[in-house]
Amino acid sequence: MSIEALHTATLYFIEQIERISYEDAVQLTDLREEVLNEIGNRSISADEKQLLHQIGEFDEIIVAKMVEFKDQASQEIQTIAKTRMHKKKYENPYNFEGVFVDQKE
């Protein structure tokens, strides 16, 4: 992938920030990693440096959105845990399949 493609993807992410999904955020993160690995092996031009600088300006917004996703996931996990706890309260821990009969002698 190229820096230009990353720049375009980042701009799209920012424009669609309210409608963006977790999967889209993961794709952007993967793309960023791919581009960083690619440019680590070569020198970059002044234009590419400028694009990277512009991409970096959006980092705070992107990180905030990812923190929002993390918080949502954490809340959902807590809800699931509470549901399981409440469900366990109503489950009978005893097995009544067997019957003990006491006989008088």
Please answer whether residues 6 and 38 qualify as being in contact, where contact means their C-beta atoms are separated by less than 8 angstroms. Answer: no
Label residue 105 by pLDDT band (50, 70, 90): low
Q: Which residues contact 25 (CB under 8 A, 6 or more apart)?
A: 13, 62, 65, 66, 69
Going by the DSSP 8-state scheme, the letter that residue 91 receives in this structure is S
pLDDT at 83 over 80: yes
Quote the tokens at residue 89.
């309260």
Q: Dump pLDDT digits (tens) for 43-64.
A: 888 998 999 999 999 999 999 9
Residue 21, Cβ density class (10 Å: 0-12 exposed, 13-18 middle, ≥19 buried): exposed
Owner of token pair 């970059």: 44
Delimit the domains of the chain by residue range.
Answer: 3-90
Query: What is the C-alpha separation between 32 and 30, in angstroms, rounded?
Result: 5
Residue 43, Cβ density class (10 Å: 0-12 exposed, 13-18 middle, ≥19 buried): exposed
Label residue 94 by pLDDT band (50, 70, 90): low
Single pTM value for the model: 0.70
Query: What is the C-alpha separation between 74 and 29, in angstroms, rounded?
Result: 20
